[in-house]
Amino acid sequence: MAANMHSPETQTKTLNGANIFLSALVAEQVDTIFGLPGGVILPIYDALPQYPSLRHILVRHEQGATHMAEGYARATGKPGVVLVTSGPGATNVVTGVADAYYDSVPLVVFTGNVATGMLGNDSFQEADIVGMTRSVTKHNIIVHRVEELAAAIKEAFYVARTGRPGPVLVDMPKDVLLATAEFDYEATPIDLPGYELNETFTDADLNALLQILGEAKQPMMLIGGGVVTSGSHEEVLAFAERFNLPVASSLMGLGGFPANHPLYQGFAGMHGHYWTNIAIANADVLLVVGNRLNERQTGKADRFAKHARIIHIDLDPTSLNKNVLSTLPIQGDIRNIMTRLLEQSSQMTLDAEIHASRQDWFRMIEGWKSRKETKASPDGFLTPQYAIERLFHWLPHNAFVTTEVGQHQMWTAQRFNLSRPRSFISSGGLGTMGFGFPAAIGIQTAFPEAMVLDIAGDGSFQMTLQELATARDYNLPVKVAIINNGYLGMVRQWQGRFFQGESETRMTSPDYIKLAEAYGCKGFVVEHPEQVDEVIRQAYAITDCPVIIDFRVQEKADVYPWVPAGGSNDTMLTEDTK
């Protein structure tokens, strides 16, 4: 037996840092790495061919790697993994890390750095990435000794996936990757002082919730992204059915409740459905589940659900009573809480008066639905709403939809009709333009047989379109539907309402058919309503390369309903009140 190897029974062996890194990923059951090589992490890439279970996706920009990993993570529920080099490689991931932080996405980002002896010397491609990302990671660390590397990786995955998920960054100096140490991952301890996963809810809290809900005549349930990330969608559905609760969703909660279910009342918030926001404003009890109630959701906070007793369930204690005071805050794992509520309410029934009032309540909501947004029908010119409606009409039920950020994102949320959790993936808290296309690539790597559609704006798509090469290299048939209005549309909309007019929002685009062809992809242009269905059918049928559909839509369509910043959700601007 070689002198530096221990017996196989101990599972302990001596490896250099690069092999410790890759072996740890295998032990964590990682199957995909999104990365771009560079000088200080070359030891990892030198060893990578020895690990055939690890698939590496070579990106064209490190920001694209983080968004791909986000898409992968949000579609699968497993941590997305990113590997980049030092200096600009590391700084290019900051936007994606921040995006994952605000949207609670489990990400583990590995960055290279200069050798430990060179740190602090303004060395070539040195960056204090740990310092830069401290405020937008759940945890980050620079590994100073190779003996610490395995523990740092194990702790990174544990923190990323437990509690409220989020990004973790591990910075690895070059000499750590070259040095050797004993490696036994299973025996490597996790030591995270202060990192606690507590639940504070009690049976009394749950009984109080059930009593309040049982007395409600006009209740609403408002779900958020926490329902999706916690995997509690089945329990939430069962609970809503048991109590006959109308259900609304935030942007991040879309897919957490079946869009085709009769209890589903649509999308709430700044550009939510009119009837959804009005129903919340008139509710007498509002049950909030996994939703942090930020200002895009609530509008003016002191007028949000002003007639309601608010019950707020969330895993993150800092989200409770932060923006909106609740009658009953309940902290804990959402799936655990909903399971316990189903158990405790198994013998409950609504009395006749409450049951009758619920029927009246549903009729009121139906009445508000008669006041809808712009009718998206073809009338000689192509509206963005119509294009998006038809994209959903032809979409398979098991598809995934991503978006970029802007007007198209809100139109998509308003017309969302899928009924599976993790089927809608968009940038919520940070609002990152350029997110949707690389996120779609990440999803397609995880689900190669699925239909993955990115509904994009022409401004957003041009921020990360270089990743067409990545999609083409790996034959990932992602569909990109560009709602091309020739503007930074949401910015133009705000300028027109609150400022003196358009300023630097007109935007040109390349010829997207030629662009697609240059990358070995397929491209279509749609300029008239009568072309829409046939082109969508053709595009969806292509399975061997990425596809771009350039919808040349009405230039100055605005998104309604609209709650301007500082406004109240019960006084929305609509198409007929603008």
Catalytic residue among 28, 62, 373, 467, which?
Answer: 62
Which residue out of 220, 221, 463, 490 is catalytically annotated?
490
Residue 556 annotated among the catalytic residues of the structure = no
Nearest-angstrom CA–CA distance, 397 and 452: 11
Strand pairing report for 328-331 and 55-58: unpaired
Tokens of 267: 């999308």
Two tokens at 197?
A: 């996963």
Which of 174, 265, 414, 451 is flagged as catalytic? 174
User: Two tokens at 75?
Assistant: 């579609």
Q: Which of 124, 211, 234, 241 is catalytic?
A: 124
The pLDDT tens digits along the chain (578 residues) read: 333 333 333 468 999 999 999 999 999 999 999 999 999 999 999 999 999 999 999 999 999 999 999 999 999 999 999 999 999 999 999 999 999 999 999 999 999 999 999 888 888 899 999 999 999 999 999 999 999 999 999 999 999 999 999 999 999 999 999 999 999 999 999 999 999 899 999 999 999 999 999 999 999 999 999 999 999 999 999 999 999 999 999 999 999 999 999 999 999 999 999 999 999 999 999 999 999 999 999 999 999 999 999 999 999 999 999 999 999 999 999 999 999 999 999 988 888 888 888 999 999 999 999 865 555 555 678 999 999 999 999 999 999 999 999 999 999 999 999 999 999 999 999 999 999 999 999 999 999 999 999 999 999 999 999 999 999 999 999 999 999 999 999 999 999 988 999 999 999 999 999 999 999 999 999 999 999 999 999 999 999 999 999 999 999 999 999 998 889 999 999 887 66
Residue 256 tokens, joined: 């957490």
Measured CA to CA, the distance from residue 296 to residue 429 in angstroms comes to: 9
62 is catalytic: yes
Tokens encoding 516: 């697609």
Asked if 132 is an active-site residue, the reply is no
Asked if 414 and 375 count as a contact pair (C-beta separation under 8 A), the reply is no
Give me the catalytic one of 13, 118, 125, 381. 125
493 catalytic residue (yes or no)? no
Where do the domains of the chain lie, and which CATH numbers do they carry? 8-187 (3.40.50.970), 203-368 (3.40.50.1220), 384-559 (3.40.50.970)
Residue type, 196: E
Listed in sequence order, the residues at least 6 apart from 215 whose beta carbon sits closer than 8 Å to its beta carbon are 285, 354
Known catalytic membership, residue 416: no
399: its two tokens? 């598809």
Alpha-carbon gap, residue 22 to 19, rounded angstroms: 5
